[in-house]
């Protein structure tokens, strides 16, 4: 649910429960990549387990990466956007093939 705002999540879950009664959707787990992301985060002196919400954003970024050709990350200064991208790229490089980050200037 990385593309939803927090206020819409309960409504969405309610609609899904009405459409599919008695079925509970499990959270997607990417154990290998999450373990690699934790290692990369610790190498960068970041607190993976202590910052569960931020770690969840890294996983949401991964889910978005799997279904989009490109993406933009926006948010307030100091929210951890750059570190999330770099940790994810490092984890993907450690588990798959080398990933690089290309930053584009939207005003150019």
CB 83 within 8 A of CB 91: no
- Tokens read off for 54: 């931020």
Q: DSSP for 27-73?
A: PP--HHHHHHHHHHHHHTT--TTT-HHHHHHHHHHHHHHHH-S----
CB 71 within 8 A of CB 16: no
At residue 73, the pLDDT reads 87
At residue 25, the pLDDT reads 75
pTM of structure: 0.77
At residue 3, the pLDDT reads 67
- Tokens read off for 76: 């307030």
Digit-by-digit pLDDT tens for the chain (108 residues) are 556 777 888 888 888 888 988 888 777 789 999 999 999 999 999 999 999 899 999 998 998 888 888 888 888 999 999 999 999 999 999 998 888 888 888 786
At residue 100, the pLDDT reads 86
Separation CA 99–CA 54 (nearest Å) = 21
């Amino acid at each position: 649910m990385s593309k939803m705002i927090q206020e819409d999540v309960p409504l969405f879950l309610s609609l899904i429960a009405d459409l599919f009664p008695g079925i509970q959707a499990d959270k997607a787990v990417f154990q290998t990549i999450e373990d690699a992301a934790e290692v990369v985060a610790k190498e960068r002196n970041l607190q993976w387990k202590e910052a569960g919400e931020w770690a969840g954003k890294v996983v949401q970024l991964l889910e978005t990466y799997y279904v989009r050709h490109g993406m933009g990350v926006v948010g307030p200064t100091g929210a951890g956007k750059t570190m999330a991208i770099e940790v994810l790229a490092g984890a993907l490089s450690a588990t798959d093939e080398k990933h690089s980050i290309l930053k584009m200037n939207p005003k150019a």
